[in-house]
Amino acid sequence: MSGFNLPGIWAIYRTEMARTRRTILQSVATPVITTVLYFIVFGSAIGSRMHQVAGVSYGAFIVPGLIMLTLLTQGISNASIAIYFPKFTRTIFEILSAPISSMEVVLAYVGAAATKAILIGLIILVTATFFVPVQIMHPAWMIAFLVLTALTFSLFGFLIGIWADSFEQLAVIPSLVVTPLTFLGGAFYSIDMLPQPWRTVSLFNPVVYLVSGFRWSFYGSGDVGVAASLIFVITFMVCCLALLSWVFRTGYRLKS
């Protein structure tokens, strides 16, 4: 088959986006309400006692962290559920036997999951402007980090959906690994505020690099260098793509 099967990609992509429209309350309203609660709790309660962090008001400081938290959780959950349900209902065999390549399947599912995560992230950004003044010093880099992070963690979520054999396994990595790492990754504080050796330990948390790079695009400063953040995101994406290539080549948990 020469070129991309665009009708096949569009069919899967459109189906996944339609599922979001059917669950609009869960898909969009819930993250926005959660963000408002974060601002009420963290922005008001903590912000009234800690006025500035790294020269930025605390309420504005947590905005990139909130968006990054949303990108990670939404990208993973959307992509993992999208591929898990065809496995659960046994319709995955129809997809595997269809005239569409594995790359095109990944492109459709991951593209839809990343699109939903980006849209919700942008909605949260708009919501945040009603609470605090938000400044974006490097808008092009902000969009780049937004898209790269959404795509990378949608790929990661796709892998989780393939690996999971039950709904419990589907939730274990996001709830027990990703969410704690995000809360400990500088989403709501600067790791420069931590005493040693905890600051050094935090540098082994991959989420620190994501949050720091994204925050740099807003305010021009971060806990680590922007180059390190970019290298981490791209490296993780390449690793996910390599693993997905192996999964489709071997049929791991897809054909059994």
pLDDT tens-digit readout, 153-197 = 999 999 999 998 888 888 888 888 888 888 888 888 888 888 888
Average pLDDT over residues 14-31: 78
Q: Is residue 157 part of a domain?
A: yes
Q: Is residue 27 part of a domain?
A: yes
The pair of three-digit structure tokens given for residue 153, joined into one six-digit string:
């963690």
What pLDDT does residue 19 have? 78
DSSP string, 112-135: HHHHHHHHHHHHHHHHHTTTS---
How far, in Å, CA of 139 to CA of 131, rounded? 20
Contact 83/165 with Cβ under 8 angstroms?
no
Q: Whole-model pTM? A: 0.89
How far, in Å, CA of 69 to CA of 178, rounded? 9
pLDDT in tens, 78-108: 899 989 988 888 888 788 787 888 888 899 9
Question: Which residues on neighbouring strands pair with residue 52, listed in sequence order?
Answer: 57
Q: Is residue 72 part of a domain?
A: yes
Q: Is residue 255 part of a domain?
A: no
pLDDT-above-90 percentage for the chain: 34
The pair of three-digit structure tokens given for residue 167, joined into one six-digit string:
């709904």
Domain containing 50 equals: 6-250
* Nearest Cα to Cα of residue 54 among 125, 123, 124, 135: 135
Query: What number of other Cβ atoms are within 10 A of residue 197's Cβ?
Result: 8
What contacts 159, CB < 8 A, 6 or more positions away? Answer: 240, 243, 244, 247
Q: Is residue 161 part of a domain?
A: yes
What pLDDT does residue 99 have? 82
> Exposure string (b/e) for 47-73, b if CB count within 10 Å is 16 or more?
beeeeebeebebbbbbbbbbbbbbbbb
Q: Is residue 30 part of a domain?
A: yes
Residue 43 has pLDDT above 70, yes or no: no
How far, in Å, CA of 199 to CA of 192, rounded? 7
Query: What number of other Cβ atoms are within 10 A of residue 108's Cβ?
Result: 23
**Which of 28-37, 47-56, 219-228 shows the lowest mean pLDDT across its residues?**
47-56
Q: Is residue 225 part of a domain?
A: yes
DSSP string, 129-154: TTTS----S-HHHHHHHHHHHHHHHH
Average pLDDT over residues 6-12: 88
The pair of three-digit structure tokens given for residue 148, joined into one six-digit string:
């790269």
How far, in Å, CA of 240 to CA of 238, rounded? 5
Domain count of the fold of the chain: 1
How far, in Å, CA of 232 to CA of 239, rounded? 11
How far, in Å, CA of 33 to CA of 167, rounded? 25
Q: Is residue 233 part of a domain?
A: yes
Eight-state DSSP code of residue 254? T
